[in-house]
């Protein structure tokens, strides 16, 4: 997963207040058993920390019925609501907890993260600053503040906050990672890559691989032994950093790659003679290992020397023939075929910022002479059913079985318009024309302020000029499509 | 148990239910065992002939209490109930007679006529086909087929059977000629129809139905003075006849002489002649054109209410919900990926499906497209619906549609969809839809969008043009016209709205689960900018633009559906936003429709 664990921290508070709660709930009349508030809260905290959110929620409702202004219960209920995916409810509860006069830095730190997730960046930075003022020696407050600054594209402040956090706690992985993202986005890749290595040490991050006694590869030649690459993070990362596989291949006798099944078609093309495996049980012996996402560091990549031997991915001719026929049946030849993807995987921690809703793309539907070909996969595919703009939208996502299909379709389409998702990388790696819609604070790899990218010469970037403001981005693309200007020269 | 009050059958036959419609299976006594009742049956017959109805009825009831399957007594009782106008009982008795004696042409004929009369066309067709099986050389059997298939919108087949009647009878019966004329009018063959009407009227000038049919022909062919001349003549033969008055009102309405038209209808009302449901709806439509909206709505409401009373038609809520739920459950992405698709034939013209709720503008789109030299008009083809009915048989499945499609996973049914596709294409050929030079034809059966999933499997490359219109305008139209599509949903406003929303939700589901060649087109856009819409549709269909499509009202092809009077006029925008006049009356269905109105991007504020 790109970006790794949830960036901001959401912690539960310690307990203290003394009170009792009477076990009376609406509707039912169970025996009246007074429970000390402390004990009740302890139970709720325990339930929350073990992931039993529904039970925790019931317990907290029960406490709040008796003590509706109990700040800690309100706050904890907010945390639980957040964990249950109910952002607005969480915010209401946390705001109430603050309203009842409890001015804990922890509360401000948590609500700042919530504001950030909900896209209220002004409130988020206000709350984060307040948390930092209340607890100037707490590096986590500074770390969260750094992340919020990143999302406001205040990179100087972000670097400052993470530096201050690291002055207090030099080995705080989250602060290093926040610093890495700001440096990389700014184009300071030499230092950025080093800080980026902290990503595996962030609490809650999925380990790269099972424990091993082999060393991490440092880019030196491996004679007569196998180098293991782990195709880590999201599919887009694998496609993007897959370009380094030939480079790594030249530096070892044999190559093995651990990957998920979906990535097999892509990796087979990049490493025809490598051992590809999808289960650790099948891992061959190896001399050293490296994360695929770590190769740009080892190769000494800088914005001006990005290896871009495009195309480095090519579709399967048989699939291209099949999809050519299918699309000819579905889309009249006279219309330009524009691929669209409006959402990434909902599980991605930045999905709220990077994905949009299909109806947002309505201005594209007014461009004459085009047909939109939806390559959308996953839970948001269903939105295709609600498209009623003038340009037809053909939902081929429903017939895409794997990335082989996606590559073949990209080869047949005139171009692709997409949010920041793996298929953007696929199109770029194939040298297909592609327009990418980026959130205000994009992923570091897209750098700042430019419409092109050193990673993919056929890609054009359309950036939000203010957080969550997609309309101008989409209007810009619609204008360019209508003017038939290609994504990149 | 109450022994004193016999449990009479709800059908109204006068028999106990257990001796009538609720007779236990296998309780039938051998005819031999009740032979001693024959003299009673004979007495009943004699009494009935002499007009002693009460005696005849008593005798029949006595006999049937002892021997419920005595055909003679059932026949007499049927005659009595029919004469009394008790249609439910008559129909129930007739069904029992047909069941007891399936090779009896007479009762089969009667039953088919009753069913046709009450609009149960599909069931009527079953019995008409039986009639032909019983007596393949009998003119009346073919006449039944002629009438029923004409009504079932397969006039080409109907024409064949009418011509068989003429052949077999060796005479030119004026009624058959008039029936055939009506059939040809429905095929748009106006001149042939006119000649037959003239022949029929010359021989039998005093047949009211012929005169009305002839008028309707002239009206449809836009010769309004001729229509009025026929009516003038008919009025001298049938003074004060309400049917003629209504026909005249319709002609005057099309001549935009609304005041006279409404005065005629109101005159009928004050003359104490009860208006039927169609008359009431016609009156409402005329009032609408005059801008008297509240009065128009009242007429519609009365017409709909009367129709419900007379036909017993009500929305088949459970059946509709059941089918739509099953379709939604069956057509899902994962399953669709495992199902084959029919291959695409390149040797015969291919369909364009024009989808939409009745009264949403499908006729307009068809008229527009079929003005194109390469596109023939298929009209409302009942074939997709037919395929859903015969699918279990064709695929040798114990399951119904859509679950029967599971047979496509069997080794011997991999080509099942090709067979169903060919069934459709072959019927299209038989129906005479295709014409020279056409490489495509339209199928504008309303609510075919219910079966988008199936269409996508059978014709994976066929364009589907879904005509959208403001849902409230559709409701106004549905309430002011009669149609039985969509499980009789138009029997009432509320059920029309319910069905509309159900189908639109299902369409959304299909589109989310399947790759479809689907284009939504707004009726309002066609009205506001015809050429742009026509070009977009033709682009999507894959045909070059042809200016003939813009002058579709000069397309002499006659569309037989309720919209015909509108598509023969140049485009007008009076049909857009009509709902604003009826906002208050539509209030009850707005909560049902609001989500779809919003999804489609229509507005609710005036």
Helices assigned H by DSSP within A227-363: 235-241, 245-249, 264-270, 295-298, 317-330, 351-354
**Chain B residue with the nearest C-alpha to that of A401:** B337
**Chain A residue with the nearest C-alpha to that of B339:** A399
- Strand partners for B350: B440
**Lowest model confidence (mean pLDDT) among A32-41, A94-103, B84-93, B399-408:** A32-41
Percent of chain B at pLDDT above 90? 62
CA distance B269 to A302: 90
* Residue B233 maps to a domain: no
DSSP codes joined into one string, B292-311? -HHHHHHHHHHHHHHHHHHH
**Do A385 and B508 count as a contact with CB atoms less than 8 A apart?**
yes
**Interface membership of B518 toward A (CB under 8 Å):** yes
Q: Which of B468, B512, B519 sits opposite A381 (nearest CB)?
A: B512
Give chain B's domain count.
1
Q: For residue range B410-454, what is the model confidence (pLDDT) as tens digits? A: 988 999 999 999 999 999 998 888 888 899 999 999 999 999 999
**Interface membership of A326 toward B (CB under 8 Å):** yes
Q: What is the DSSP letter of B171?
A: S
Q: What per-residue confidence (pLDDT) applies to A6?
A: 40
* Residue B486 maps to a domain: yes
**Residues in chain B closer than 8 A to A369 (CB atoms):** 539
Q: Which residue has the tokens 């291959």?
A: B343
Give the closest-approach CA distance of A233 to chain B in angstroms.
27
**Residues in chain A closer than 8 A to B458 (CB atoms):** none
**Chain B residue with the nearest C-alpha to that of A330:** B517
**Interface membership of B356 toward A (CB under 8 Å):** no
Two tokens at A232?
């880590």
Q: Which residues contact B410 (CB under 8 A, 6 or more apart)?
A: none
**Residues in chain B closer than 8 A to A384 (CB atoms):** 511-512
**Band (B23; pLDDT cuts 50, 70, 90):** confident
Q: Which of B517, B541, B601 sits opposite A394 (nearest CB)?
A: B517
CA distance A192 to A183: 5
**Interface membership of B600 toward A (CB under 8 Å):** yes
Q: What are phi and psi of A129, to 5 degrees?
A: -65, -40
**CATH code of the domain made up of A20-201:** 1.25.40.10
- In the predicted structure, residue B110 carries a pLDDT above the cut 50: yes
Give the closest-approach CA distance of A370 to chain B in angstroms.
10
Q: Which of B333, B468, B539 sits opposite A388 (nearest CB)?
A: B468
Q: What per-residue confidence (pLDDT) applies to A338?
A: 97
**Band (B68; pLDDT cuts 50, 70, 90):** confident
**Do B600 and A388 count as a contact with CB atoms less than 8 A apart?**
yes
- The stretches in chain A having pLDDT less than 50 are 1-7, 15-27, 489
CA distance A201 to A7: 13
**Do A399 and B512 count as a contact with CB atoms less than 8 A apart?**
no
**Do B515 and A331 count as a contact with CB atoms less than 8 A apart?**
no
Higher pLDDT, residue B22 or B345? B345
Nearest to B520 by CA among A388, A251, A174: A388
**Chain B residue with the nearest C-alpha to that of A396:** B515
CA distance B542 to B61: 68
Q: Residue ranges of the domains in chain A?
A: 20-201, 222-305, 317-482
Q: What per-residue confidence (pLDDT) applies to B566?
A: 54
Average pLDDT over residues B364-387: 91
Q: What per-residue confidence (pLDDT) applies to B117?
A: 82
Q: What per-residue confidence (pLDDT) applies to A293?
A: 95
Give the closest-approach CA distance of B519 to chain A in angstroms.
5
* Residue B488 maps to a domain: yes
Give B 444-473 residues with CB within 8 A of chain A.
460-461, 468
- In the predicted structure, residue B56 carries a pLDDT above the cut 70: yes
* Residue B333 maps to a domain: yes
**Chain B residue with the nearest C-alpha to that of A382:** B512
Q: Which of A371, A386, A390 sits opposite B599 (nearest CB)?
A: A386
**Interface membership of B520 toward A (CB under 8 Å):** yes
Mutation site for A-interface testing, chosen from B511, B602, B603 by largest number of A Cβ within 10 Å: B511
DSSP codes joined into one string, A57-116? HHHHHHHHHH-TT-HHHHHHHHHHHHHTT-HHHHHHHHHHHHHTT---HHHHHHHHHHHH
Average pLDDT over residues B261-289: 79
Q: What per-residue confidence (pLDDT) applies to A242?
A: 97
Q: Please give the order of strands across the beta sheet that includes A415-419.
A: A393-395, A370-374, A336-341, A415-419, A434-438, A459-463
Mutation site for B-interface testing, chosen from A385, A395, A406 by largest number of B Cβ within 10 Å: A385
**Do A335 and B514 count as a contact with CB atoms less than 8 A apart?**
no
How many beta carbons lie within 10 A of that of residue B422, not counting itself? 15
Give the closest-approach CA distance of A341 to chain B in angstroms.
14
Nearest to A222 by CA among A251, A256, A246, A244: A251
Give the closest-approach CA distance of B15 to chain A in angstroms.
55
Q: Which of B515, B525, B601 sits opposite A395 (nearest CB)?
A: B515
**Chain A residue with the nearest C-alpha to that of B464:** A330
- Pair A337, A373: CB distance under 8 Å: yes
**Residues in chain A closer than 8 A to B518 (CB atoms):** 392, 394
**Chain B residue with the nearest C-alpha to that of A379:** B512
Long-range contacts of A103-109 (CB under 8 A, 24+ apart): A103/A134, A104/A13, A104/A134, A105/A130, A105/A131, A105/A132, A105/A134, A105/A135, A105/A138, A105/A141, A106/A11, A106/A13, A106/A131, A107/A13, A107/A71, A107/A75, A108/A134, A109/A9, A109/A11, A109/A138, A109/A140, A109/A141, A109/A144
**Interface membership of A330 toward B (CB under 8 Å):** yes
3-class state of residue A473 by DSSP: helix
Give the closest-approach CA distance of A319 to chain B in angstroms.
16
**Interface membership of A386 toward B (CB under 8 Å):** yes
A vs B: CB pairs below 8 A: 77
Strand (E) or helix (H) holding A256: strand A252-258
Q: What is the CATH number of the domain that holds B526?
A: 3.40.50.300
How many beta carbons lie within 10 A of that of residue A24, not counting itself? 14
**Interface membership of B171 toward A (CB under 8 Å):** no
Two tokens at B523?
């009726």
**Do B512 and A382 count as a contact with CB atoms less than 8 A apart?**
yes
CA distance B529 to A34: 73
**Interface membership of B506 toward A (CB under 8 Å):** no
* Residue B170 maps to a domain: no
Give the closest-approach CA distance of B386 to chain A in angstroms.
25
**Residues in chain A closer than 8 A to B601 (CB atoms):** 388
Q: What per-residue confidence (pLDDT) applies to B452?
A: 97
- Strand partners for B16: B8
Q: For residue range B506-529, what is the model confidence (pLDDT) as tens digits? A: 999 999 999 999 999 999 999 888
**Interface membership of A395 toward B (CB under 8 Å):** yes
CA distance B557 to A489: 53
Q: What is the pTM of this model?
A: 0.82
Q: Which of A329, A334, A395 sits opposite B512 (nearest CB)?
A: A395
**Band (B133; pLDDT cuts 50, 70, 90):** very high
Distance, C-alpha A35 to centroid of its chain: 43
**Interface membership of A396 toward B (CB under 8 Å):** yes
Q: For residue range B212-254, what is the model confidence (pLDDT) as tens digits? A: 999 999 998 889 999 999 999 999 998 878 788 888 988 998 8
**Interface membership of B333 toward A (CB under 8 Å):** yes
3-class state of residue A426 by DSSP: helix
Q: Which residue has the tokens 């950025």?
A: A192
Q: For residue range B523-540, what is the model confidence (pLDDT) as tens digits? A: 999 988 889 999 999 999
* Residue B463 maps to a domain: yes
CA distance B272 to B278: 17
What domain range is B573 assigned to? 317-377+437-599
Q: For residue range B348-358, what is the model confidence (pLDDT) as tens digits? A: 999 999 999 99
Two tokens at B302?
């009365």
Cis peptide before B402 (omega within 30 of 0): yes
Q: Which of B333, B518, B601 sits opposite A392 (nearest CB)?
A: B518
**Residues in chain B closer than 8 A to A329 (CB atoms):** 344, 460-461, 517
Q: What per-residue confidence (pLDDT) applies to B226?
A: 94
Q: What per-residue confidence (pLDDT) applies to B571?
A: 54
* Residue B571 maps to a domain: yes
* Fold of the CATH domain A317-482: Rossmann fold (3.40.50)
**Residues in chain B closer than 8 A to A386 (CB atoms):** 508, 511, 599
**Do B516 and A330 count as a contact with CB atoms less than 8 A apart?**
yes
* Residue B408 maps to a domain: no
Q: What per-residue confidence (pLDDT) applies to A19?
A: 45
CA distance B581 to B359: 18
């Amino acid at each position: 997963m790109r970006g790794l664990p949830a960036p901001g921290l959401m912690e539960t508070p310690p307990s203290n207040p003394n009170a009792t709660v009477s076990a009376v709930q609406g509707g039912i009349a169970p025996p009246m058993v007074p429970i000390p508030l402390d004990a009740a809260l302890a139970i709720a905290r325990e339930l929350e920390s073990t992931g039993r959110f529904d039970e925790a929620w019931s317990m907290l409702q029960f406490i709040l019925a008796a003590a509706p202004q109990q700040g800690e219960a309100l706050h904890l209920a907010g945390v639980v609501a957040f964990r249950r995916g109910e952002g607005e409810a969480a915010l209401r509860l946390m705001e109430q907890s603050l309203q009842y006069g409890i001015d804990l830095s922890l509360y401000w730190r948590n609500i700042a993260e919530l504001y950030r997730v909900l896209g209220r960046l002004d409130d988020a930075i206000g709350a984060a600053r307040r948390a930092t003022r209340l607890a100037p020696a707490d590096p986590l407050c500074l770390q969260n503040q750094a992340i919020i600054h990143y999302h406001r594209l205040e990179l100087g402040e972000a670097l400052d906050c993470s530096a201050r956090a690291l002055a207090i706690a030099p080995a705080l992985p989250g602060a290093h990672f926040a610093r890495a993202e700001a440096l990389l986005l700014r184009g300071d890749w030499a230092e950025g890559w080093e800080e980026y290595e902290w990503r595996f040490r962030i609490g809650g991050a999925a380990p790269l691989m099972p424990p091993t006694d082999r060393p991490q590869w440092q880019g030196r030649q491996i004679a007569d032994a196998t180098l293991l690459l782990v195709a880590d993070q999201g599919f887009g990362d694998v496609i993007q950093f897959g370009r380094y596989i030939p480079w790594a291949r030249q530096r070892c006798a044999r190559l093995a790659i651990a990957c998920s099944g979906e990535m097999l078609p892509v990796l087979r093309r990049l490493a025809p003679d490598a051992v590809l495996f999808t289960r650790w049980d099948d891992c061959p012996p190896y001399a050293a290992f490296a994360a695929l996402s770590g190769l740009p560091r080892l190769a000494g990549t800088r914005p001006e020397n990005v290896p871009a031997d495009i195309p480095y991915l090519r579709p399967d001719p048989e699939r291209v023939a099949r999809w050519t026929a299918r699309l000819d049946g579905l889309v009249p030849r006279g219309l330009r075929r524009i691929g669209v993807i409006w959402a990434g995987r909902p599980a991605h921690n930045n999905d709220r910022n990077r994905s949009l809703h299909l109806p947002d793309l309505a201005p594209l539907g007014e461009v004459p002479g085009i047909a939109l070909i939806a390559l959308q996969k996953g839970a948001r595919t269903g939105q295709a059913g609600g498209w009623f703009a003038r340009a037809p939208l053909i939902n081929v996502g429903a017939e895409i079985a794997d990335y082989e299909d996606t590559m073949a379709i990209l080869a047949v389409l005139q171009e692709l318009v997409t949010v920041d998702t793996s298929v953007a990388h696929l199109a770029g790696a194939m040298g297909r024309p592609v327009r990418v819609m980026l959130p205000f604070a994009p992923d570091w790899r897209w750098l700042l302020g430019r419409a092109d990218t050193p990673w993919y010469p056929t890609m054009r970037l359309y950036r939000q000029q203010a957080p969550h403001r997609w309309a101008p981005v989409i209007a810009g693309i619609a204008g360019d499509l209508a003017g038939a200007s290609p994504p990149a020269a | 148990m109450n022994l004193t009050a016999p449990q009479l059958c709800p059908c109204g036959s006068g028999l106990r239910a257990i001796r009538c419609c609720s007779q236990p299976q296998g309780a039938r006594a051998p005819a031999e065992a009740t032979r001693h009742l024959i003299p009673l049956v004979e007495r009943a017959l004699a009494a009935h002939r002499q007009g002693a109805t009460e005696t005849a009825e008593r005798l029949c009831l006595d006999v049937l209490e002892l021997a419920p399957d005595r055909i003679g007594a059932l026949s007499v009782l049927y005659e009595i109930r029919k004469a009394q106008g008790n249609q439910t009982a008559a129909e129930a008795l007739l069904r029992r007679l047909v069941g007891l004696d399936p090779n009896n042409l007479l009762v089969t004929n009667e039953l088919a006529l009753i069913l046709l009369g009450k609009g149960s066309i599909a069931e009527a067709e079953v019995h008409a086909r039986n009639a032909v099986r019983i007596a393949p050389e009998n003119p009346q059997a073919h006449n039944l087929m002629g009438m029923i298939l004409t009504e079932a919108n397969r006039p080409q087949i109907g024409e064949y059977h009418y011509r068989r009647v003429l052949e077999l009878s060796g005479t030119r019966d004026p009624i058959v000629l008039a029936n055939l004329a009506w059939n040809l009018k429905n095929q748009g063959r106006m001149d042939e129809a006119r000649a037959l009407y003239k022949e029929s009227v010359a021989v039998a000038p005093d047949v009211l139905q012929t005169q009305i049919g002839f008028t309707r022909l002239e009206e449809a062919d836009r010769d309004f003075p001729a229509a009025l001349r026929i009516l003038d003549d008919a009025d001298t033969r049938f003074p004060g006849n309400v049917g003629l008055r209504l026909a005249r009102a319709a002609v005057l309405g099309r001549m935009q002489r609304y005041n006279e038209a409404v005065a005629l209808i109101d005159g009928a009302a004050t003359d104490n002649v009860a208006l039927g449901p169609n008359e009431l709806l016609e009156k409402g439509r005329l009032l609408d054109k005059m801008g008297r909206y509240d009065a128009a709505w009242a007429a519609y409401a009365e017409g709909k209410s009367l129709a419900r009373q007379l036909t017993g038609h009500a929305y088949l809520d459970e059946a509709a919900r059941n089918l739509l739920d099953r379709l939604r459950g069956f057509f899902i992405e994962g399953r669709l990926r495992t199902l084959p698709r029919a291959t695409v034939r390149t040797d015969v013209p291919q369909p364009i499906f024009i989808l939409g709720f009745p009264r949403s503008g499908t006729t307009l789109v068809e008229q527009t497209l079929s003005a194109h030299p390469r596109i023939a008009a298929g009209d409302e083809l009942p074939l997709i619906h037919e395929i859903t009915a015969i699918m279990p048989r064709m695929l040798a499945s114990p399951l119904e549609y859509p679950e029967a499609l599971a047979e496509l996973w069997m080794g011997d049914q991999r080509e099942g969809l090709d067979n169903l596709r060919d069934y459709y294409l072959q019927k299209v050929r038989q129906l005479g839809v295709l014409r020279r030079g056409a490489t495509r034809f339209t199928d504008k059966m309303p609510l075919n969008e219910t079966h988008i999933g199936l269409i996508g499997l059978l014709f994976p490359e066929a364009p589907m043009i879904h005509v959208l219109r403001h849902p409230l305008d559709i409701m106004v139209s549905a309430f002011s016209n009669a149609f039985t599509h969509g499980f009789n949903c138009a029997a009432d406003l509320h059920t029309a709205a319910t069905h509309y929303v159900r189908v639109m939700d299902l369409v959304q589901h299909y589109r989310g689960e399947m790759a479809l060649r689907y284009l939504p087109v707004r009726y309002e856009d066609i009205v506001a900018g015809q050429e742009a819409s026509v070009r977009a549709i033709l682009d999507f269909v894959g045909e070059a633009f042809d200016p003939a499509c813009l002058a579709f009202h000069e397309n002499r092809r006659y569309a037989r559906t309720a919209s015909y009077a509108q598509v023969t006029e140049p485009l007008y925008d009076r049909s857009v936003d009509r709902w604003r006049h009826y906002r208050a009356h539509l209030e009850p269905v707005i909560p049902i429709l609001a989500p779809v109105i919003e999804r489609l991007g229509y507005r609710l504020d005036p």
